[in-house]
Structure 1
Amino acid sequence: MKRLENFLAQQPACALLEERSLIHTASGEIFLDILECGKIIPSECLVFNREKLAYFFLGRPAYKTSIVHDPSFWQLPAVFFLKRPQNLSPKRIHPFDSGALHSDRYRQIIGKLKIEDFEIDPTWQSVSKLINYFFGSIDEYQNGTATSYQDIRNLIGNETSQFIPLALAKLYNSPSNAEIDDRVKLIEFQYDSEIELASGNLAAVIVCKEWLRDPSIEKKLSNLGCEIKSYPLFPLSSSSYYSKIYELAQDIK
């Protein structure tokens, strides 16, 4: 049962949120495949019964690829900032990283709740309601500043049947730790169709600067018709690059 969606459906309609990019982070090993075929292609997902899905987060490049302690440039993240698709509907939308719930990383905070309880309708109106209720504005969402648990509890009052929104507020207000990172406060989109990277569909791409030394790759990126940003290669663990990627992403809508 979509308990969260049922709750949101009872909330008043709100203005559609200001547009923010849907962000897909790929490991560097498949960056060139995406660039050469001009598409983000869904791949088999073990969480959702081996369905072929492509994952995006709304607003921030939070997905973490596998940590490599001494990475080469092809082992570092490549980040695609997709403008809101006009001709494709998401297969599912969740208010956080569904994989973390599946692997029980949220169990100590919200117990054994089911992912279906948190799924919302794949519409921008539902997304706007979610952000309006649990963050107050798109800017607060972008900054990861959730409405306090106590404020949400006060709004819900004595309706103890609405424990799923309370669980989400508790999760949104939990501090980060080894099990929970910033993906807990980001809305996850799943697509089961190929996403064309045709001119006009992308807002930006962030890649390791080493890729741009190859004129053919630089030309393919330029042909996408979007902003290209890059970060240098350092003798650092791959996990150390995310702060730089966040910095580069700050002014990308």
Structure 2
Amino acid sequence: MHDHDKGNGRLKKLVAQTAPTQTRLPLVHSTDGYLFGDALVEGRLEPQDCNVFTGEALLYTFYGRPSFRPNMAEFATTMDHYLPVCLIFKRSFFGEVRRVFPFDTGAFVNDFYRSYLHRKMMLGDFALEPDLDTPGRVIATFFGTARSYLQAQPTSPVKFDAGQFEAKSYSALIDARDSNAMDSRGSGIEVQLAEPVAIAHWVEAVVVPSTFVDSSIGKELRRLNIEMLPYDVQGRLRPSEYTSTITDRCMHYYAKNGMLEDIIG
């Protein structure tokens, strides 16, 4: 057991008691053009050494929302290799789930959520049951609907027993509307995988820079019958500035495929 796995289990028990939402969303994995090109050649996404759960190789995904932002620290660039790519898994995906958290664990260890937590709260206090039904249970518990979750807008604050400290902290985090409110990493449900994922078998669509469509990468994606969701590349933008564009492409794809009939008006 990793040190970060130690926790009181209070939130895990609360969430496990809730029936998951009927709407099933796909897992998504964010990377950049260079790393995606390598993965496409290898035919799979490989777990990588983790700097949070040190000593483990993990593949990080999020439930429905592309909350991870690759190359956050990179400056504005026109180089395709740094541009974000987001892989959308088939909803039928199954594999070994190592951990599930209701937020980005990297942001937790970097104290981005400090305003909403007791100083003694540990990451493990927010660990949830490691299975693919858990994200739907989180949404039912805290957001009400998949649409509210995807738009990071809880329909109304949920009232919890005063002793549910972790639930109340998370509820405050996702409902924050002040100028210092956390970005989407604070409420994107993180699903850690422990095994490689075969791209041809489990990936159904990929959000890519438009420059990839007619490239060797685009040719390979067409061969694999994986749908491309291109976005326009703007001159001199930081890679992280494409986050809303990537999210928008995902939302339209979900709506087009009947996952959320009402996500787009």
Provide the TM-score with structure 2 as the length reference.
0.84
| Structure-2 change in CA distance of 1:220 and 1:128 (3 Å) | same
Q: Is 1:21 aligned to 2:26, yes or no?
A: yes
Residues in 2 aligned to 1:175 and 1:71: alpha-carbon distance in whole angstroms: 33
Contact kept? 2:20, 2:138, Cα under 8 Å: no
Q: Is 1:99 aligned to 2:137, yes or no?
A: no
- Match of 2:219? 219
Contact kept? 2:102, 2:187, Cα under 8 Å: yes
| Structure-2 change in CA distance of 1:125 and 1:213 (3 Å) | closer
- Match of 2:242? 241
| Structure-2 change in CA distance of 1:147 and 1:197 (3 Å) | same
Instruction: Point out where structure 2 has 5 or more consecutive residues left out of the alignment.
Output: 1-7, 255-265
* Helix, strand or coil at the partner of 1:198: helix
- Match of 2:135? 127
| Structure-2 change in CA distance of 1:236 and 1:89 (3 Å) | same
Contact kept? 1:205, 1:228, Cα under 8 Å: yes
Q: Is 1:197 aligned to 2:204, yes or no?
A: no
- Match of 2:229? 229
Contact kept? 2:20, 2:135, Cα under 8 Å: no
Residues in 1 aligned to 2:187 and 2:178: alpha-carbon distance in whole angstroms: 10
Provide the TM-score with structure 1 as the length reference.
0.88
- What CA deviation, in whole Å up to 9, does each residue of 1:135-157 have, x standing for no partner? 011111111112444xx23xx3x
2:41 to 36, 45, 58: 36
Alignment-mate amino acid for residue 98 of structure 1:
T
Alignment-mate amino acid for residue 172 of structure 2:
K
2:167 to 158, 165, 168: 165
Task: Report sequence identity in percent.
Answer: 28
Alignment-mate amino acid for residue 222 of structure 2:
S
Q: Is 1:140 aligned to 2:148, yes or no?
A: yes
Residues in 1 aligned to 2:92 and 2:197: alpha-carbon distance in whole angstroms: 9
Alignment RMSD, CA only?
2.0
- Match of 2:117? 110
Contact kept? 1:16, 1:124, Cα under 8 Å: no
Alignment-mate amino acid for residue 182 of structure 1:
S
- Match of 2:4? none
Q: CA deviation at 1:5?
A: 0.7
Q: CA deviation at 1:218?
A: 2.1
Instruction: Point out where structure 1 has 5 or more consecutive residues left out of the alignment.
Output: none
* Helix, strand or coil at the partner of 2:108: helix
Aligned length: 243
